Homo-oligomer: A and B are copies of this chain.
Amino acid sequence: MPRFFIDENALCGDVITVTGADAVHMGRSLRMREGDEVIFCRMGMEYRCVTETFTKDSVECRVLSSEPSMAEPSLRLTIYQAFPKSDKAEYIIQKCTELGAARIMFFPSRRCIVKSADKKLERWQRIAEEAAKQSGRGMIPQILAAGSFNEALSDLASQDTPLFCYENGGSRLSGVTFGATAGVMIGSEGGFDRDEADAAAAAGAEHIWLGRRILRCETAPVAVTAIIMNLSGDI
């Protein structure tokens, strides 16, 4: 059955109104007609619907049933990634979305070469949407860019389980007990400096050690997301 992501405001009572490219896609490409069934995903919920009215630029569908998306992990994980170089961010977004991250927030750290998302945020959000569709997610992860290390750190500190990956040592991921929400802060190519590690600890983030091998900055978030989804019983 066709699956589409819809905006929060596309649902009104038990009616979902699809407009734009998806409406065109349903009518023209998929040649759907009144009475066909379709699934819409919205904020981790899946709505099984039947199409009712096709206009030239919208489709009205009635909700038959709704349930939490089975593809969504119970743990709500945010990856906090210091801006990496070149197109590594796109790779991180694609893989962490497939693996189940709920949010990915990029931020500048002392040793970052790249210091901002520049104009890339829209493109990054589209990459998350593509990866979410391809992997069957029930939601599209939010891609965010913090203006400063401290802004990202205070977001991290608001998670039930705030973690900070530090090459100079810390606990193993296996020893962590995960709450409903978790966040992991990961450095750029140059890693974190001591002040940043101390600030993270002071903010309540547990230092995590990923072992003796040096992981590239685009490998660490993917490995961490896979391991945490496994530890929380999702993979």
Interface residues of A (CB under 8 A from B): 70-71, 94-95, 98-100, 134-137, 172-174, 210-216, 219, 222-224, 226-227, 229-231, 233-235
Complex Cα distance A174/B229, Å? 11
Q: Tell me how far the C-beta of A156 lies from the nearest C-beta in chain B, rounded to whole angstroms.
A: 21
The 3 closest A-B pairs by CB, nearest first: A223-B226, A211-B235, A135-B213
Number of copies: 2
Q: Are B98 and A213 in contact (CB under 8 A)?
A: yes
Q: Are A174 and B214 in contact (CB under 8 A)?
A: no
Complex Cα distance A230/B215, Å? 14
Q: Are B173 and A212 in contact (CB under 8 A)?
A: no
Complex Cα distance A202/B172, Å? 36
Complex Cα distance A214/B95, Å? 11
Complex Cα distance A210/B235, Å? 5
Complex Cα distance A192/B208, Å? 36
Q: Tell me how far the C-beta of A55 lies from the nearest C-beta in chain B, rounded to whole angstroms.
A: 33
Q: Tell me how far the C-beta of A97 lies from the nearest C-beta in chain B, rounded to whole angstroms.
A: 9
Interface centre among A137, A172, A235 (most CB of B within 10 A): A235
**Contacts of A230 on B, CB cut-off 8 Å?**
172-174, 227, 230-231
Complex Cα distance A212/B73, Å? 9
Q: Tell me how far the C-beta of A3 lies from the nearest C-beta in chain B, rounded to whole angstroms.
A: 12
Q: A222-B226, A227-B235 are in contact. Are A99 and B213 (CB under 8 A)?
A: yes
- The 8 Å CB contact of A71, one of B95, B136, B212, is B212
Complex Cα distance A174/B227, Å? 10
